[in-house]
Amino acid sequence: MARLLVVDDEKNIRRSLETFFLSCGHTVATAPDAHCALEAMAHGGGFDLVLTDFRMAEMNGLELLKEIKRRSPDAAVVLMTAYATVENAVAAMKAGATDYLSKPFSLQEVQHVVERALELGNLRVENRALRAALEETPILESRSPIMRTLIETAHLAALSEATILLLGESGTGKNVLAREIHRWSPRADRPFVVVSCTTLSEQLLESELFGHVRGAFTGAVKDKPGRLEAADGGTVFLDEIADLPVTLQAKLLRFLQERRFERVGATSTVEVDARIIAATNRNLELEVAQGRFREDLYYRINVIVLSVPALRERSEDIMTLAQRFLATAAARNRRPKLRLAPEAEQALSHYRWPGNVRELRNAIERAVVLSRGDTIRHEDLPDSIFRAQTPPRPAPESSVSLEEVEREHIRRVLADAVTLEEAADTLGISVATLWRKRKRYGIE
Chunked in runs of 10, what are the mean pLDDT values of the chain (444 residues)? 87 91 90 89 79 86 86 82 73 81 85 86 65 54 90 96 96 93 95 89 88 89 92 95 93 95 93 96 95 95 96 93 89 85 93 93 92 90 75 53 79 77 78 79 78
The neighbour count for residue 111, using CB atoms within 10 Å, is 14
CA–CA gap between residue 390 and residue 109 (Å, rounded): 58
pLDDT score recorded for residue 238: 96
pLDDT score recorded for residue 395: 47
pLDDT score recorded for residue 332: 81
Query: Which structural domains are found in the chain, ordered by start?
Result: 3-135 (3.40.50.2300), 145-307 (3.40.50.300), 315-388 (1.10.8.60), 402-441 (no CATH)
Question: Is the sign of the CA dihedral 385, 386, 389, 391 positive or negative?
Answer: negative
Residue environment code for 203-238, b if the CB has 16+ CB neighbours within 10 A, otherwise e: bebbbbbbbbbeebeeebeeebebbbbebbebbbbb
CA–CA gap between residue 330 and residue 322 (Å, rounded): 12
The neighbour count for residue 269, using CB atoms within 10 Å, is 10
The neighbour count for residue 324, using CB atoms within 10 Å, is 17
CA–CA gap between residue 365 and residue 3 (Å, rounded): 32
